């Protein structure tokens, strides 16, 4: 009889071996997911394999702060600002634990959007164990490669810090 993988594994949604390791650590997680339009960031606490979301938001919330950014809410600057906004919300709720970065089945790409979110979280004061060399360069965070108005990014950074 042939063994059939779990449905979420077949659909490339869940890596059960990785998830089990994250749950065994006992630490809270920062879950970062990338959709076709947005970046989703959640701070999650797991208790008895049940996830409880402490803080959750999408990059769509940047529109409230005046984000224009060529309309893209999933770019590297938008990811960085989403990370900063998540860090601010964690500070407001007085959550200052150490977190593990959970990127799920996303591709580990040095300097990518997911690591831009992680850089925003670290700059916002969240304790995450991430190597510095995977973060995007400051030029990419400032949007110099996208022809984005830097004054908009700087204005939002000031509001969030």
Q: 131 vs 159, which has greater pLDDT? A: 131
Q: 57 vs 18, which has greater pLDDT? A: 57
pTM recorded for the entire structure: 0.88
What's the chain's average pLDDT?
89
Protein fold of 11-160: Nucleotidyltransferase; domain 5 (3.30.420)
Count of all residues that appear for the chain in the document: 161
Instruction: Give the pLDDT mean for 121-144.
Output: 92
Tokens of 62: 């940047």
pLDDT(110) > 90 = yes
CB 64 within 8 A of CB 73: no
pLDDT(88) > 90 = yes
């Amino acid at each position: 009889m042939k063994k059939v993988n779990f449905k979420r594994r077949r659909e490339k949604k869940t890596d059960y071996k990785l998830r089990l390791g994250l749950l065994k650590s006992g630490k809270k997680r920062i879950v970062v997911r990338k959709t076709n339009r947005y970046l989703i960031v959640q701070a999650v606490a797991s208790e008895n394999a049940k996830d409880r979301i402490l803080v959750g938001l999408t990059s769509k919330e940047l529109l409230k702060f005046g984000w224009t950014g060529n309309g893209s809410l999933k770019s590297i600057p938008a990811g960085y600002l989403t990370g900063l906004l998540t860090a601010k919300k964690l500070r407001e709720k007085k959550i200052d634990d150490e977190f593990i970065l959970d990127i799920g089945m996303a591709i580990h790409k040095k300097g990518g959007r997911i690591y831009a979110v992680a850089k925003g979280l670290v700059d916002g004061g969240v304790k995450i164990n991430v190597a510095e060399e995977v973060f995007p360069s400051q030029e990419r965070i400032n949007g110099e490669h996208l022809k984005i108005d830097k004054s908009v990014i700087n204005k939002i950074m000031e509001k969030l810090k």
